[in-house]
């Protein structure tokens, strides 16, 4: 909003930074909830469940909803936290595999399409976290799992969706090679998400992380290990603007 | 092209992979030039100058141009290679700081805008490699250098361009903090490029790489260290589709 | 004391080292308690709870108090250890979040001010360990939590405290960028404490550690990962001498 | 200045950030010179010579002086850059061992004392960079080199200076043990600077870096490897405020 | 020979180890040349040129030939060493790209076939070192270069050779993904050779090394970074025994 | 099969890739079971038990058997998973130490011999996983455990088997030296499997991994840490083709 | 014994290796017990408890005793294993803190003295493992704990023992600085044992490991992290031969 | 001397530390020469040539000789430094391969024997640095080079020397396996020196360093990478006291 005003020339750049510092937040003592983020970046602040008590998470969710958030997503939430949020907010939904719980009050109209694929079954938690985030941000998502490089012919069934997507997300652990293969096929931007599963020499996800970063397939950028949330965010931004 | 036909339903997925294997390339003995990449991914194959002799580079450039490439870009080219290409192809241009040389015969009409910013003067080589690549792919690029976090007020002058861009590229070494700051301000997708300069604890670029990946600013994805080429490629894809 | 005598010329340097070797300690068999540290360095020896049994910790606390310590702080103490100390020393206090238990018999008069800020809620344990240590050493501490870079406007409310402080402590995980931003604003010395929480690419705190060390914001020095104790110690020293 | 006004209550915090964004800088194209830093942080922007041409460095030095800097320091400057600056600015001084060149027009009155010690002869370059920086910021510095732990009795001669200092800087490579020893003796804040020289298992300075960070001697904080500049900056801040 | 005698029961195991310690070698002072290795392992000792003077290499080559070696291969030999060997042994051959020089007096009859492929032009040096070694050990080698994953259709031309081979060698840097793709296609044993070229996040070859080790394509084993010699040795052993 | 047709000239290479994309798989939603792998690579797809629920594993096993697999092997299966598979498939066998469960309906006739040795008792789990895999692929395996370098004479008893084998597998942790010693003795291809047990400086298996890769014993290739499955696969391929 | 015969000229070197391969061991299936080690190296084989079941450990202990071992030491043994050994061998002793259990039937007469010191209480487990091992090998050991560098005067009380020792063992975690300080004082050989306790930047013991290796105090050598067993072994060898 | 007085009871421990601080040194400005070390530790201070100018080295050598040193050794000295020392001190000797120059005025009578062996020719520089150091400290040294594990029978010729030695030094790069093999054979203390040569996965010497530290051959301790000086020092101490 503010930056758009800058772009239109309605607001001078220096004034924009000034106004930026006057943006609102809610102070819960242990947390300062950025209730303005949805206005500023078209994406509401999300809540990392890990390292917070169910009570803390519930309080932050409440503050965000009271602050007018269209939706609130809690990631990396264990069963206790998911239960607490669902008890506190009756309209909340959860996805056990993705360890997510969320309230969706008013989502943006869906725009654009993201194709999400994974190399193996164990990448599913990360992939579905990305899917939920992207859907809450207002984009359509297709998912195809377990199409890794060791049996590449399984990729064929995914081709129509890859071809139609405004953005592609590839979740892969171990050698991360699926990102390179997909990156060499499609023309849309590709977001790689290295995952931490696996053994042998996968080094907790650093092997697929570095392999994706070193991929010769230009058109590929990468988010942190297991960061489905980050992948879903940027993929939704790309897809929504492509379909604007 | 092929994948679009799949999307339209003109070609069955399995057949697409079949046809894929029949795509043309040129065999130079030491290299197999993928003359089809521009058709497939809207971006011609580029040439990594590093580790090749000027003669090898010149031969690959020639093969790509004869294969119909609209443009050819050679990256990480030293003075000898840049000179050899310019001697062989009279229409070639070079950028010494970015260590690039290129021939631009027929560029796509420019679509969309990418704002590129750097944290320090020494990130310039990487930033301009990104700029040249993105321009050759057909997008408009604005550049603002040396607006690092140690004097954040310098960021103000960049705000109008950041606000107007379809995609933002941030090149930064050392702590890479500029990517987090920009990522917390803008709504467009942000591509971070960690750079290898610096000392103290920058570890050849791994410190900004990991810092960008760990950034709490969702909406940020990262390419490899010093990989201006990769950043330019994905940024142009994002910007072009946003403005389609 | 001894070194001050050296400074005044009352004691020759060589003699100082000699006397140094005659300083007292208490031998508990499994530990040698340095009951002289408070005299020498104006800070009593503290007890690392981790890796010691509640009985060992209680015995060391007792020895220090009997040795005349003005205060005794036990860090990284689990519930059993905190309980044991509180049973043994009825005047003891504890902070569950900071995992600390302490006895404060005779604190130095408070001098100087330290402003402590954190990037996120999960940095709280470390931040409050730093606060408790600094307060026991005799300085005033202000605390503001969760003002990370992803929503920088939350920093505004902290500005008066940052401006008034003799020393600033910044606890941050993930990309550690808050230390760079604060380091670029204030004129007081800044102590960064990287924290180990987070995921993606935070590498158990090594990412914010290296990012803080590589920060372009001069005037910033760093302690070990999660080392709130160390940060509180040096911050109190700086603040007390500034206000002397 | 600005933050002091905040502290006094003359300026509201939010307004301070607004004004912050209106701070001046000079745009040289390849660099944006922060001519305001000396006002804001009592320390003028310095110039990292590494990775810049002599012409670029000379232009930045000129811009800073024209912007009113009391002094300008160029670090990590090779002979060519040092020569170019001395040709352009006749009042410039250089220190070959420390690879520094500087212009000192108007220094703050010296306040406070920093004692700087090194473990070995090869730490000298880093130690003297720290010294020059601290002196330019307006503090007195004493230097004692080569008093490493393998012959600890050499430390005796340094005791009077260590005892008298408001801040101590320890530069050490290899095992970095001198920082722990000094940190266990003095009551003043200690800043450790790990250095990159050495072999065997010093890992380019990471061994002394980690050893200093892991030191049990509380009251010790650390800057980046070979970062004499950073050590000099924070040491001067500490010493000046202690002696205010 | 000796072990075959053990297998046949002609020699007792314990006696074999005894005899083993009586095997001959030539002592040149700076080197002990194992002139028996060809008998024992069907592969003569080779000479690592790196870190030896041309005179040392020439002396070792001579000793091996006098010891009856059927062939002698010097790897990682610079121009001076290659020249010295060719001057000393007129029947020597060299390959500049592979940095090898060798004398082939009496090769075993060729048995079996190894297909060697590389991902990029810059993997050529390593691939040809592997080829030369395997040919000297007595096997047929086919080579196809630059068929990396970014343009997978280039792999098609290599399929007949991959299908016919008794063993496949894949040399690849960057993400090393070609090894996974080939490993998922063929039924023969695959040997991966990670290469050190590249940039971004290839970490001097550790990224393809770990990626190959973590590959889901079972049937793949890996040698050290740039170790064409090792790959050629084991590939020849596999191929020769398959065709016995 | 397909590739053999290519080799015979019955199928053109490009057509082979086409047909490849038409290969069958079974889609279970969370997994796509590659029921064709046994045909293509003479080794049925195996199931990684880790990270899957007993129900998921059982479903995949069922799908593979229904797809005609001659055998199905589940690795890294905990007791619950092994029990579930044995309940579902009454002909299933398990090996607790190797954490494997498998169904063997129709194995290929055994061909060739693999000698497997380990350095210590704790390498047994990995070694037996390798053994089971290799036996299911149709080869004979001999096993000798705990013959590490600290008491090399224990190697003597293994010599007849090492001498007779078509391929040798060495599992070792700590310093991994047994692989170098065996690699310097035998003429058959050697596959090293680094194991993760141990302490001191074994770094979770990275020390034996790197030591095996750096071994001067040419003829040795390595699989991932604890990857008995991978070692068994390639060893069986080598042994079977050697004995064809 | 054997090597002494070689030294005396009674046995030819080649014959020695032959005989070496005829040395006895006991094969328990899962383990090959080297019952000859005590003869060969004057130190009986010890048993690493970690990773073995109580039954396996008990069987190996029995085999060693039946093989004539003068003593048997089990290290890293949990309570169950210690209990099992004590039940099976009534003359067994245990040390809970050091996690050791042992049977001492016939020890060599004690010769020489080892002084063992630790930097902190938490190094005790490792230090006492070293002590027990050294005592079983037949040497006298003195122990002084918790004399770390942060309060160096505690070292004074240890000086007489350090001065009298034939070998010194220093166990230290964190920065490992005590090894450097002691190494600079004494003339006897010093063995450093890095320990894995601690936090901040001790990296599981790698920080003290590298610091000890990089120490400028020549006369210091290092064993693996937490390897009290190894330290005790070499220290006893040194001390015994010094006092021979 | 001092410590011996402590041992005899002539000097109280506390007094010893006092006297220690009164020990003499020579202050050259850039260096403080510890002229007392030979008295204290029976080994004169040595000079690390690396990172010092020829003039600095020559001045330190002079100061040590004037301080009464029986010998002075300069390690890691390039040709210029070696030449400068030989010009300044006519009695100086040099060893080009070991990069050492030294003056030997009055050596202790030789006592004890050290056997030094290397795995390969390229370990020679390090091995001979160790030899020169040990000889200057007054012990006899035997040297056998290039007896690596790939051809273990070459070890036989070294057996008599290994059997006769009071201490064994093993220099090895790559996999460092020779240290484990020797450590499993001999009864004397073994000092491992990892070397930095090699490629593939030797990681600049970290692979043999970790492999030696993880070796199961107890009785082995390790010095830093390429630290022949350190190995020679401790080996001489061990050997001299064994033969006292």
Which pLDDT value is given to residue C72?
95
Residues of G in Cβ contact (< 8 Å) with E15: 18
ipTM of model: 0.91
Residues of B in Cβ contact (< 8 Å) with A14: 156
Residue B56, classed as helix, strand or coil, is: helix
Which pLDDT value is given to residue D21?
61
Which pLDDT value is given to residue D19?
60
The chain-wide mean pLDDT, for chain F, equals: 88
What is the average per-residue pLDDT within D151-170? 86
Which pLDDT value is given to residue A96?
94
What is the average per-residue pLDDT within C139-164? 84
C215-242 pLDDT per residue, tens: 978 899 999 999 999 999 999 999 999 9
What is the average per-residue pLDDT within F211-238? 94
Which pLDDT value is given to residue H156?
76
CA distance C218 to chain B (A): 8
Pick from H157, H241, H243, H244 the residue to mutate for testing the G interface (most G CBs within 10 Å): H241
β-bridge partners, F48 = F75
Nearest CA in chain B to F21: B14
Per-residue pLDDT at F224 exceeds 90 = yes
Residue E130 — very low, low, confident or very high, per pLDDT cuts 50/70/90?
very high
CA H152 to chain CA mean position, Å: 26
Residue C21 — very low, low, confident or very high, per pLDDT cuts 50/70/90?
low
Per-residue pLDDT at G16 exceeds 70 = no
CA distance G3 to chain E (A): 15
Higher pLDDT, E35 or G126: G126
Which pLDDT value is given to residue E243?
87
| Contact: E225, H200; criterion CB under 8 Å | yes
| Contact: D20, B121; criterion CB under 8 Å | no
Please, what is the end-to-end C-alpha distance for chain D in angstroms? Answer: 17
- Picking from E124, E146, E199, the nearest residue to B32 by CB comes out as E146
Per-residue pLDDT at D14 exceeds 70 = no
- Picking from F177, F201, F213, the nearest residue to H213 by CB comes out as F201
Q: Which chains does G contact via 3+ CB–CB distances below 8 A?
A: C, D, E, F, H
Which pLDDT value is given to residue E123?
93
Write out the DSSP string of E14-33.
HHHHHHHTT---EE-SS-EE
Residue with tokens 């890996």: E222
Report the C-alpha gap between H238 and G237 in whole angstroms: 10
Residue A184 — very low, low, confident or very high, per pLDDT cuts 50/70/90?
confident
Q: Which long-range contacts (CB under 8 A, 24 or more apart) does D58-65 make?
A: D58/D84, D58/D85, D58/D88, D59/D28, D59/D31, D60/D28, D60/D31, D60/D33, D61/D85, D61/D88, D61/D89, D61/D103, D62/D88, D62/D89, D63/D26, D63/D28, D63/D33, D63/D35, D64/D33, D64/D35, D65/D89, D65/D103, D65/D105
Q: Which residues, other chains included, contact F117 with Cβ-Cβ below 8 Å and sequence gap of 6+?
A: F127, F143, F144, F145, F147, F158, F162, F168, F169, F170, F171, F178, F182
A136-151 pLDDT per residue, tens: 999 999 999 988 776 6
| Contact: H36, D156; criterion CB under 8 Å | no
Residues of C in Cβ contact (< 8 Å) with A31: 121, 145-146
C-alpha distances out from residue D86 to A236, D67, D100, D135, Å: 54, 19, 11, 19
Q: How many helices (H) and strands (E) does chain C have?
A: 10, 11
Residue G151 — very low, low, confident or very high, per pLDDT cuts 50/70/90?
low
Pick from A51, A159, A168 the residue to mutate for testing the B interface (most B CBs within 10 Å): A159
| E-strand stretches of chain E | 26-27, 32-33, 47-48, 71-75, 93-95, 100-104, 113-118, 140-144, 167-172, 190-194, 220-222
Nearest CA in chain B to D30: B121
Q: Contact, H180 vs F173, CB < 8 A?
A: no
Give the number of other Cβ atoms within 10 Å of residue A192's Cβ.
29
Give the number of other Cβ atoms within 10 Å of residue G140's Cβ.
17
Nearest CA in chain D to B148: D32
Per-residue pLDDT at G3 exceeds 80 = no
| Contact: H201, F207; criterion CB under 8 Å | no
D33-51 pLDDT per residue, tens: 877 777 677 777 789 999 8
| Contact: H230, G220; criterion CB under 8 Å | yes
Write out the DSSP string of chain D.
-HHHHHHHTSS-HHHHHHHHTT---EE-SS-EE-TTHHHHHSS---EE-TTS-HHHHHHHHHHHHHTT-SEEEEES--HHHHHHHHHH-TT-EEETTTTEEEEESSPPPP-SEEEEEESSGGGHHHHHHHHHHHHHTT-EEEEE----GGGGGGGGGGHHHHHH-SEEEEEE-TT-HHHHHHHTT-SS-EEEEE-----SS-GGGHHHHHHHHT-S-SSEEE--TT-HHHHHHHHHHHHHHHT-
Which pLDDT value is given to residue G1?
47
Report the C-alpha gap between D117 and D119 in whole angstroms: 7
Which pLDDT value is given to residue B158?
85
Report the C-alpha gap between C121 and D86 in whole angstroms: 51
- Contacting C with CB below 8 Å, chain G residues are 121-122, 124, 145-147, 150-157, 197, 199-201
- Picking from E198, E206, E215, the nearest residue to A175 by CB comes out as E215
Which pLDDT value is given to residue H13?
61
Residues of E in Cβ contact (< 8 Å) with H160: none
Closest CA to D199 of D120, D124, D97: D120
Percentage above 90 pLDDT, chain A: 64
Closest CA to E238 of D93, H212, F114: F114
Hey, CA dihedral for D96, D97, D99, D102, is it positive or negative? Answer: negative
| Contact: H145, E51; criterion CB under 8 Å | no
Q: Contact, A22 vs A14, CB < 8 A?
A: no
Closest CA to D162 of D176, D143, D180, D149: D143
Report the C-alpha gap between F183 and F115 in whole angstroms: 13
Which pLDDT value is given to residue B1?
47
Per-residue pLDDT at D195 exceeds 50 = yes
Q: Which residues, other chains included, contact F189 with Cβ-Cβ below 8 Å and sequence gap of 6+?
A: E234, E237, E238, E241, F167, F168, F219, F221, F238
Pick from B2, B19, B22, B34 the residue to mutate for testing the E interface (most E CBs within 10 Å): B34
- Picking from D153, D155, D201, the nearest residue to H224 by CB comes out as D201
- Picking from F124, F150, F201, the nearest residue to G30 by CB comes out as F124
Pick from H143, H178, H199, H208 the residue to mutate for testing the E interface (most E CBs within 10 Å): H199
Which pLDDT value is given to residue E27?
80
Percentage above 70 pLDDT, chain D: 89
The chain-wide mean pLDDT, for chain D, equals: 88
Report the C-alpha gap between H184 and E152 in whole angstroms: 51
B102 token code pair: 């290129």
Which pLDDT value is given to residue G184?
86
Which pLDDT value is given to residue H241?
92
Write out the DSSP string of F24-86.
--EE-SS-EE-TTHHHHHSS---EE-TTS-HHHHHHHHHHHHHTT-SEEEEES--HHHHHHHH
D60-110 pLDDT per residue, tens: 999 999 988 899 999 999 999 999 999 999 999 999 999 999 999 999 999
Residue C11 — very low, low, confident or very high, per pLDDT cuts 50/70/90?
low
Percentage above 70 pLDDT, chain E: 89
| E-strand stretches of H46-92 | 47-48, 71-75
| Contact: G202, D210; criterion CB under 8 Å | yes
Pick from E13, E17, E18, E36 the residue to mutate for testing the G interface (most G CBs within 10 Å): E18
Please, what is the end-to-end C-alpha distance for chain A in angstroms? Answer: 17
Nearest CA in chain B to A46: B218
* Orientation angle between helical segments C13-20 and H13-20, nearest 10 degrees: 150
Higher pLDDT, C36 or A59: A59
- Picking from F21, F31, F51, the nearest residue to A153 by CB comes out as F21
A203-237 pLDDT per residue, tens: 999 999 999 999 978 899 999 999 999 999 999 99
Report the C-alpha gap between B104 and B137 in whole angstroms: 10
B111-143 pLDDT per residue, tens: 999 999 999 888 999 999 999 999 999 999 999
Task: Report, in angstroms and rounded to the nearest whole number, the Rg of chain A calculated over CA atoms.
Answer: 19
Per-residue pLDDT at B2 exceeds 60 = no
What is the average per-residue pLDDT within G142-161? 82
- DSSP assignment letter at H201: S
Which pLDDT value is given to residue G12?
65
| Contact: D150, G202; criterion CB under 8 Å | no
User: How many residues in total does chain C contain?
Assistant: 244
F217 token code pair: 């014993």
Which pLDDT value is given to residue H121?
87
| Contact: D174, G201; criterion CB under 8 Å | no
Residue with tokens 């003891």: C92
- Picking from H41, H219, H231, the nearest residue to G237 by CB comes out as H219
| Contact: H145, E223; criterion CB under 8 Å | no
Higher pLDDT, D216 or A104: A104
Nearest CA in chain B to F18: B18
F25-43 pLDDT per residue, tens: 788 877 887 777 776 677 7
Residue B220 — very low, low, confident or very high, per pLDDT cuts 50/70/90?
very high
Residues of chain H with pLDDT under 70: 1-7, 11-23, 39, 150-151
Of A137-141, C150-154, E2-6, give the range with the top mean pLDDT.
A137-141
Nearest CA in chain B to D225: B200
CA dihedral (H172, H174, H176, H181) in degrees, to 10, reads -100
A39-54 pLDDT per residue, tens: 677 777 789 999 889 9
The chain-wide mean pLDDT, for chain C, equals: 88
- Contacting C with CB below 8 Å, chain A residues are 20-23, 25, 27, 29-32, 34, 36-37, 45, 48, 50-52, 56, 76, 209, 223-227, 230
Per-residue pLDDT at F214 exceeds 50 = yes
Per-residue pLDDT at C28 exceeds 90 = no
* Angle G138-G141-G144 from CA coordinates, rounded to 5°: 165
| Contact: D45, B151; criterion CB under 8 Å | yes
Question: pTM higher than 0.95, yes or no?
Answer: no
Residues of F in Cβ contact (< 8 Å) with B17: 17-18, 20-21
Residue E190, classed as helix, strand or coil, is: strand
Report the C-alpha gap between D158 and D54 in whole angstroms: 39
- Contacting C with CB below 8 Å, chain B residues are 119-120, 148-152, 174-177, 180-181, 183-185, 198, 200-203, 206-218
């Amino acid at each position: 909003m503010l930056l758009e005003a800058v772009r239109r020339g309605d607001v001078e750049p220096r004034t924009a930074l000034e106004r930026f510092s006057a943006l609102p937040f809610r102070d819960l003592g242990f947390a300062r909830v950025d209730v303005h983020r949805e206005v500023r970046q078209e994406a509401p602040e999300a809540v990392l469940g890990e390292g917070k008590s169910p009570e803390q998470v519930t309080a932050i969710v409440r503050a965000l909803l009271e602050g007018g958030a269209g939706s609130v997503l809690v990631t990396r939430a264990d069963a206790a936290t998911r239960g607490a949020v669902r008890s506190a907010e009756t309209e909340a939904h959860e996805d056990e595999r993705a360890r997510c719980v969320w309230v969706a009050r008013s989502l943006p109209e869906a725009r654009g399409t993201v194709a999400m694929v994974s190399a193996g079954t164990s990448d599913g938690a990360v992939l579905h976290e990305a899917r939920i985030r992207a859907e809450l941000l207002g984009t359509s998502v297709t998912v195809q799992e377990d199409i890794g490089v060791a049996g590449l012919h399984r990729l064929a069934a995914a081709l129509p969706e890859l071809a139609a997507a405004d953005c592609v997300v590839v979740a892969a652990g171990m050698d991360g090679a699926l990102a390179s293969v997909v990156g060499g096929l499609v023309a849309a931007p590709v977001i790689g998400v290295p995952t931490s599963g696996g053994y042998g020499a996968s080094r907790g996800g650093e092997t697929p992380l570095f392999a994706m970063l070193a991929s010769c397939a230009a058109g590929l950028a990468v988010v942190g290990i297991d960061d489905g949330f980050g992948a879903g965010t940027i993929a939704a931004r790309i897809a929504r603007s492509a379909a604007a």
